[in-house]
């Protein structure tokens, strides 16, 4: 199957079967989502959603967080992965947000990446989810699912994956495509034992065809 045709079929399937796809992180403001996405690196959204309510009660704004001691922040997020690094990043992010961005989360992907703890993936999430920009964040789920299905070919890095996906997915669908691939990877196309028997993408999936000699 040609890659262009595969993309069309996969997109059509998701549009029919997952017309609504959103982040599973809980947030009410751009600042809250920024914190949640930083915390979510190599950590489950479920765990992050347990951490953030007391965190935001104590640090409701970037201004409050910017004045916090790293040791105190650590106590609030110690149950997530890499709490030491994330504590430093969160306080640094808040200080830069207050000091250089007038306490406003920027919408520009390049500007977002100037904040401590914010890489390209996090910046793309904020740009697409908060500001509805045509950006596609690539995490481990997106990277794995896109390669398995056959949407990407020989992509060695998240950036290579992003470039290949953006080339074939209509700009208007980039933001939701991020969630399609993440949710599919989280619940169906899981890392160790993908649930191919219950996957609706069997007919267009390179991985399924290779492993089932269809």
**CATH at 83:** 1.10.340.30
In terms of Cα–Cα distance, which of 25, 4, 10, 5 is closest to 149? 10
Tell whether 81 and 145 lie within a shared domain: no
**Burial of residue 163, with CB atoms counted within 10 A of its CB: 0-12 exposed, 13-18 middle, 19 or more buried:** middle
Q: What is the pLDDT of residue 58?
A: 97
Tell whether 9 and 65 lie within a shared domain: no
Helix or strand holding residue 128 (H, E)? helix 120-129
Q: Which domain, by its residues, includes 47?
A: 30-129
- Last residue in a domain, options 75, 97, 129: 129
**CATH at 182:** 1.10.1670.10
Active site residues: 121, 139
- Last residue in a domain, options 129, 153, 169: 129
Name the pTM for this structure: 0.90
Task: Report the binding-site residues.
Answer: 189, 196, 199, 205
Tell whether 39 and 119 lie within a shared domain: yes
User: If the chain, 214 residues long, is cut into consecutive pieces of 10 residues, what is the mean pLDDT of each piece?
Assistant: 93 96 95 96 94 97 97 96 96 96 94 95 94 92 96 94 96 94 95 93 92 70
Q: What is the pLDDT of residue 1?
A: 82
Q: What is the pLDDT of residue 213?
A: 64
Task: Report the binding-site residues for [4Fe-4S] cluster.
Answer: 189, 196, 199, 205
Domain count, the chain: 2
Q: What is the pLDDT of residue 24?
A: 94
Give the Cβ contact number of residue 15 at 10 Å: 12
C-alpha distances (whole Å) from 100 to each of 56, 61, 68, 95 are 22, 15, 18, 8
> Are the C-beta atoms of 30 and 126 separated by less than 8 Å?
yes
């Amino acid at each position: 199957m040609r890659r262009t045709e595969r993309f069309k079929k996969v997109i059509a399937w998701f549009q029919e079967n997952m017309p609504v796809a959103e982040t599973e992180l809980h947030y009410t403001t751009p600042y809250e989502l920024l914190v949640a996405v930083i915390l979510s690196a190599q950590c489950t959204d479920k765990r992050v959603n347990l951490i953030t309510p007391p965190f935001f009660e104590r640090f409701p704004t970037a201004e409050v967080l910017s004045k916090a001691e790293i040791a105190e922040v650590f106590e609030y997020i110690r149950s997530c992965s890499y709490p030491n690094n994330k504590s430093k990043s969160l306080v640094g992010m808040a200080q830069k947000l207050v000091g250089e961005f007038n306490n406003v989360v920027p919408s520009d992907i390049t500007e977002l990446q100037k904040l401590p703890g914010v890489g390209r993936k996090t910046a793309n999430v904020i740009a697409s989810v908060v500001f509805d920009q045509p950006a596609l964040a690539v995490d481990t789920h997106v990277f794995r699912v896109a390669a398995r299905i056959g949407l990407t070919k020989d992509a060695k890095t998240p950036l290579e994956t992003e470039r290949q996906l953006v080339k074939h997915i209509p700009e208007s669908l980039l933001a939701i495509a991020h969630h399609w691939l993440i949710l599919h990877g989280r619940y169906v196309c899981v890392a160790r034992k993908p649930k191919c028997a219950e996957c609706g993408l069997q007919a267009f999936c390179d991985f399924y065809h290779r492993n089932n000699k269809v």
